[in-house]
Amino acid sequence: MIVRSNQNWFRLLFVWNGSVLQSIIPQLVFMGIVSSLAVLTQGRIFGEKIPLNTAPFTLFGLALAIFLAFRNNASYERFNEARHLWGNLLISARSLTSQILCYVPSGADKTNIARTLIACIYALKHELRRTDPVPDLLPLLGRARTEALQHTCYKPTALLNDVRRDVADLQARAQASETKLWMFDAQINELGKAIGGCERIASTPIPFSYSVLLHRTVYAYCILLPFGLVDSTEFFTPLLCVFISYTLIALEAIASEVAEPFSVAPNALALDAMTRNIERSVLELCGCEIPDEVVPVRPYQLT
């Protein structure tokens, strides 16, 4: 993820890093070629004039813009929900750690529970991104537990179950009362809800047919547009069509990118930094040495 500071209006015109422009340049070049051909042929295909004017494009463009706005809102809802779920993970992890540290006698092994909790968060990050969690789990769990965990399909759930088992052992050894056990279990349930919510977002994308319809409509509009403008704008047709195509295609690209909040795209959630933040917070409560903070990319990069 890219963290941006406030920039003046002129600098924003030339920002490159984090913009979807770099991913849609081939499409814009294609639209420029189509528009240039429309100008060279005066809006004819195989010698036949295409009878188009600006009126239907105005009406259809308005409907398409509303459709794109609805698609972007649906994508952002997924992003916003994912952000809230990771915020809940941080709150519940802090609360559970603080409760165990304050309400359990000093003789209990509390650090082990904290490390298992941190490992659960790291395992969730890797599950959502479909990456290998071993490098992050080894320092927290040790080789034996990490290798045993490799045989499980849902590693975050397995580790959260280990946290619940460790808390139950505290109660079995008379180090935590029934009331305290209920209090700990409430925080563990909140962690489970957040994990389940993240898995739901990752495993339930926006319906493919919905995306295909929008994709086809945008490109059909952009390809036909120069043939409707060529009579009125003439040599300015390629410039206008590329600009309009940039707006529509970029909106579609942004919607697709934001709809996957757990990816490694520039505008996705900063899961590396968020996971490290939870780790630092839990370890600090335990009085342990905390690792360095992960800082997302900050500066604009200009072309």
194 close to 85: Cβ distance less than 8 angstroms: yes
Q: Is the pLDDT of residue 90 over 80?
A: yes
CB-based burial, 169-193: b 16+ in 10 Å, e otherwise: ebbeeebbeeebbebbeebbebbbe
Specify the pLDDT at position 108. Answer: 64
Token output for 256: 């697709």
The residue segments making up the domain with residue 129 are 9-44+52-285
Band of residue 232 on the pLDDT scale cut at 50, 70, 90: confident
Domain membership flag for residue 1: no
Asked, for residue 240, whether it belongs to a domain, the answer is: yes
Does the residue 295 lie in any domain? no
With respect to residue 301, please indicate whether it lies within any of the assigned structural domains: no
Widest CA span in the chain: 90
Going by pLDDT thresholds of 50, 70 and 90, the confidence category of residue 10 is: low
Which segments of 69-178 are extended strands (E)?
A: none
Q: Do the domain assignments include residue 299? A: no
Q: Rounded CA gap, 34 and 291, in Å?
A: 54
The reply to whether 113 falls in a domain is yes
Into how many domains does the chain fold? 1
Mean pLDDT of the chain: 88
223 within some domain:
yes
Torsion 244-245-250-252 (CA) sign = positive
Q: What is the pLDDT of residue 143?
A: 92
Counting Cα atoms < 13 Å in the Cβ hemisphere of 264 gives 6
Nearest to 67 by CA among 257, 252, 269: 252
Q: What is the reported pLDDT for 7? A: 64
* 301 pLDDT above the threshold of 50: no
Domain assignment present for 254:
yes
Between CA 282 and CA 96 the distance in angstroms is 9
Q: pTM to 2 decimals?
A: 0.86
